[in-house]
Structure 1
């Protein structure tokens, strides 16, 4: 996509920026802080399109936020990973994470054979549920050549579903106290976004939060091999293997490089805080753009059955990981 620094382009980026900032501010208020800025941004953008229409005159800037800023956010997301910590301290947890990712994707696809929802949307939801929510969906969608509307719907559903589950987890740890380590691993292995793990595991104390984040980051780490697997599968299923071109998501290389940087170079805490804030902002701006591509018509016709499949998958995943963690670990 060619970039022209004209007024519509700048205003389009500014449009997504304003909604993103408002979403972040709202997420600091009571009640809204349980929902999270990601879900607020998606919902706000969908409502804006429904009542006021898509801002066509700002389309170039909105598209830039949707595509370019989203990829930048995923690259910077790699700085959340310390590869040596995951490999050295989280070996057993990484095996659990592999099982979680495989189960979430395969089980939701299995369910969809009976529910008969939109296959593309269901697959994106399986990836988001199994790996790391919005970042995973955004990373895999170019490989699958997913529609932007499907990406927006799936990101919104995962954000909302993950918020509900994290609140339930937070309530359960209060009503039924359990070992902090077990609780943290359970939250980290079964909840959707890193933010959801922070919300839920934090309710169990600092020990639960630390092990929960380590477990969750193992699932983020699996985004790289999972992308390679999807590339191989999509390429092998191509009806015309000679002419079919599968675009490799090169921003994933940036994701891996940033992970390596965080592994081998000590970045000052102040700088990391600034980068983390910027990453969060760009990701939310991208979510605004994705939300603007979603219509209520799409939600009515495409989202209901996949949402049911994701809800069932999330419940079953939570139950299975609970017993695995409390009995086997």
Structure 2
């Protein structure tokens, strides 16, 4: 009887620490959201702001080991849930009816970013894992693409967090540069929107760069970007195939690639957002915005969990060369996209 009571107390205690770990990532995500409202930080967004707070906190004091299970839940389970909700942002119907030419351009952007990042990382002897994630993030849709692919290629949490932080920073810098150059560019509104949509990193970056050019430019930019988001699905299956093919047969069990079930959720949610919400089931744009904000916040909590595993030593030793490769890749992609719109 006494043994059973002690066991129950241990289970209850572990559950409390698990909840405390999740609450800890929630708290830092709130701080990141608040920080992203301040001048300067408002351009890099809540994800990068929250990761910055998490990294600094890790270096200054660290966190109690008992909270690890809850923090890992945020960095793994909540990450997959956020990707599933992210599917609501993808309107497949619009892409197939209006955005097929832009989808073709998007295929070029994705292939170019990944291949050039691969070549440059080899030449610079950059970290292969971070370089791959940055290539995918640059080509597809930033943090969401990095998070999705990282689970398939089994990247370390540290690599994922570093890549998300870099993609947020560089995407912000490029989107600001686009808006600065806008008055002097020999492009129409729709051409400018196409350029931004097929070359910038995240949906938020595309919106930031496209809005100053007007509603038509913003609509085209977002349509082009959604085409690249759509490509996340076949790209995930491609990497699954590559991972299985590269796994030695004698180590097949150890290197088995788990099917990314969250990707099915992503597809289902995109179908719901495309054909049910607002169609079969009337839903206001405000509700859809609230769901979008929720998915962003959950993704921010997941990024906090990842950021708490980053060390400044790793950033200094492993991130600089991939950052250089990504910068060159982004510049070349931007220039080529400019001359092909």
Instruction: Please indicate the TM-score interval, normalised by the length of the shorter structure.
Output: over 0.9
1:316 aligns with 2:316: no
**Partner of residue 138 from structure 1, selected from 147, 156, 161:** 147
1:214 aligns with 2:223: yes
| Match of residue 298 from structure 1 | 314
1:68 aligns with 2:84: no
Write the deviation string for residues 264-307 of structure 1: whole angstroms up to 9, x where unpaired: 11341232122112111101111111111111111111111111
| Match of residue 288 from structure 2 | 272
**Partner of residue 45 from structure 1, selected from 39, 54, 61:** 54
Quick check: which has more Rg, 1 or 2?
2
Deviates most, 262-271 or 152-161: 262-271
Q: CA deviation at 1:97?
A: 0.2
**Partner of residue 257 from structure 1, selected from 268, 276, 294:** 268
CA distance in 2, matches of 1:3, 1:197: 46
Q: CA deviation at 1:58?
A: 1.3
CA distance in 2, matches of 1:124, 1:234: 15
- Size of the alignment, in residue pairs? 324
Q: Superposition pairs for residues 179-194 of structure 1, below 5 Å?
A: 179-194=188-203
Deviates most, 26-35 or 10-19: 26-35
CA distance in 1, matches of 2:129, 2:77: 22
CA distance in 2, matches of 1:4, 1:319: 56
SS in 2 for 1:274: helix
Q: Superposition pairs for residues 19-168 of structure 1, below 5 Å?
A: 19-168=28-177
Q: CA deviation at 1:165?
A: 0.6
Q: CA deviation at 1:55?
A: 3.9
SS in 1 for 2:213: coil
Write the deviation string for residues 135-186 of structure 1: whole angstroms up to 9, x where unpaired: 1011111111110010111111111110111110111113436311011111
Q: Which runs of 5+ in 1 are unaligned?
A: none
CA distance in 2, matches of 1:280, 1:4: 30
Length-normalised TM-score, structure 1: 0.95
Q: CA deviation at 1:3?
A: 11
Q: Which runs of 5+ in 2 are unaligned?
A: 1-10
Length-normalised TM-score, structure 2: 0.92
